[in-house]
Amino acid sequence: MYIINNKYKLIEKIGSGAFGLIYKGQNMRTNEYVAIKMEPIEHELKLLKNESIIYQYLKDCPNIPSVKWFGKYYNNYCMVINLLGPSLRDLIEVHTKLNLKLTLKIGIKILMIIKNIHERGLVHRDIKPDNFLFRLYDLNSIYLIDFGFCKKFIGDNGHIKIKQTNGKIGSKNYMSINSHNSLELSRRDDLESLGYMLLYLYNGLLPWNNESDENKILIMKQNILNDNSIPEIIINYIKRVKKLEFEETPNYKLIIDEFKREIELIS
């Protein structure tokens, strides 16, 4: 039996990311189940350490897991957080796809979460279905996880400036066009990634799902507004967020109100 911090026992591996492993664990004193993320200390980017700092910063933010412990375990950094349920990706794998009404209802929940972290001066930079998990045994509450790529967009001198970067951030299926072009990311990019998420939830897949060539994926994203098979409300959303300027504050309320009106029409 592996015991971390004389308190948490590892039960089983439940996932893996680009930079580490995720285990289901249990608090031996309270019997509470937890999630334990591990990353090798030798890893240069120190994503888990950055993520633990972000979680602490967002500790009062709704729909964000809380860090119960962060420290070292042998040659790994370890972070203990709430154990959550299935992801939106898991949901689609079971149900194939969602109707437009449910897609928009989930979209509203996600917009509120993104709005809250943006108001704290942060951009997530890896918005995708895998990173939105339901609370354990509760399909009405959605949590945002995986803040390893998260970054402040507000500094001592105001909003960060747009610039060319050294690489692309995020998953190629959901990253914004700006990320494909290795540009600095801001609030608009989180919202563009959400647009591709909505399309995935509604269709059960993306037009570029089976495409491995990143340049072809980029071209397909650039042409997505011409796809007549996509509901107008999702097309209009993607069109709106693509028009946002780098430093512009998105009108979250306007978007949410539009989604609510569409839901009422469907009802």
Q: Which residues are catalytic?
A: 126
- Spatial neighbors of 37 by CB under 8 A, at least 6 apart, are 17, 20, 21, 22, 23, 48, 51, 78, 79, 81
DSSP state letters, 61-81: STTS--EEEEEEETTEEEEEE
Contact 10, 21 (CB under 8 A): no
Contact 96, 159 (CB under 8 A): no
β-sheet with 3-4: strand ranges across? 3-4, 8-16, 21-27, 33-40, 76-82, 67-73
Interhelix angle for 232-242 vs 100-119, to 10°? 20
Phi, psi of 81 (to 5 degrees): -135, 175
Cα separation, 77 vs 90, in Å, equals: 27
Strand partners, 70: 79
Cα separation, 212 vs 125, in Å, equals: 21
Contact 146, 132 (CB under 8 A): no
Which one, of 237, 131, 118, lies nearest residue 185 by Cα?
Answer: 118
Residues shown for the chain? 267
